[in-house]
Amino acid sequence: MNPLYRDVLPGGAHGSLVLRRGRLLRLTDVEGGANLALLAWNATEKSERLNLPDALKCQHTSKLTRGHCLYSDMGRVLLCITNDDLGWHDPMGGLSTAAEVRARYGAGDYQTLRNDFYRNGQDNLLVEMGKWGLSRRDLTMNVNFFSKLASDDAGQLRFVPDHSPPGSHVDLYAPMDTLVIVTAIQHPLDPATAYGPKPVALSVFEVPDAEALATTRVCRESRPENGRGFALTERYFS
């Protein structure tokens, strides 16, 4: 299957696209050790946005992998994970801030480094969101693809290094037109002492109507709640 579109998001960069209903977005960790922070909205009504707390609660999970859905605050499926090499993507770690990046990696300012200046997840997403008329009040919990967190006996979360080898990929299918905003930036809990975000490739594929049900079956049938979520999403177009 040849992609309709393919691009590589450099480490530290941000980008966005409208993933049309019936299309699939493949995210690929090019070098290994990447982290891709992702947010999503209904592309035609951006007051409807990704609601990770409800998505995790209704699927009884604290991680995301094949078979899971990313729900909106209206209970519709914005994206669903139809394929996954890793088995674990982090929905709880959040985003790095300018203050955190400065404290961990040093100043890294534009005046000194020019286009290689140190970026952070929060500002990157806000810049990209602004292109779509979105602002800080629209910033919600994000997914960190290619990253894994573990907890100790005290409930403290820690970053798991070397979780994603080169070439790892995850496929996201869109049951509705979905605005996807991403940034390839280090995870806020990554203990690395050097600034070094890794690139992620983005590829978009058309899924023929005849194959859509088979492609999404693993998500529809993984939880009874997901079957109802797909039914609600499909009713949106009837």
Sorted by sequence, the CB contacts under 8 Å of residue 132 that are 6+ apart come out as 16, 41, 46, 179, 181
Express each pLDDT in 112-158 by its tens digit.
999 999 999 999 999 999 999 999 999 999 999 999 999 988 889 99
DSSP label at residue 214: H
The whole-number pLDDT of residue 18 equals: 98
Mean pLDDT over 212-229 rounds to 97
What is the sign of the dihedral through the CA atoms of 158, 85, 2 and 199?
Answer: positive
CA distance 210 to 184: 33
Express each pLDDT in 78-100 by its tens digit.
999 999 999 999 999 999 999 99
Express each pLDDT in 159-201 by its tens digit.
999 999 999 999 999 999 999 999 999 999 999 999 999 999 9
The whole-number pLDDT of residue 80 equals: 98
Q: Is the pLDDT score of 9 beyond 90?
A: yes
The whole-number pLDDT of residue 1 equals: 78
DSSP label at residue 190: -
Q: CA end-to-end span of the chain, whole Å?
A: 29
Cross-strand partners of 43: none
CA distance 28 to 199: 9
Express each pLDDT in 23-56 by its tens digit.
999 999 999 999 999 999 999 999 999 999 999 9
CA distance 169 to 186: 17
pLDDT averaged over every residue in the chain: 97
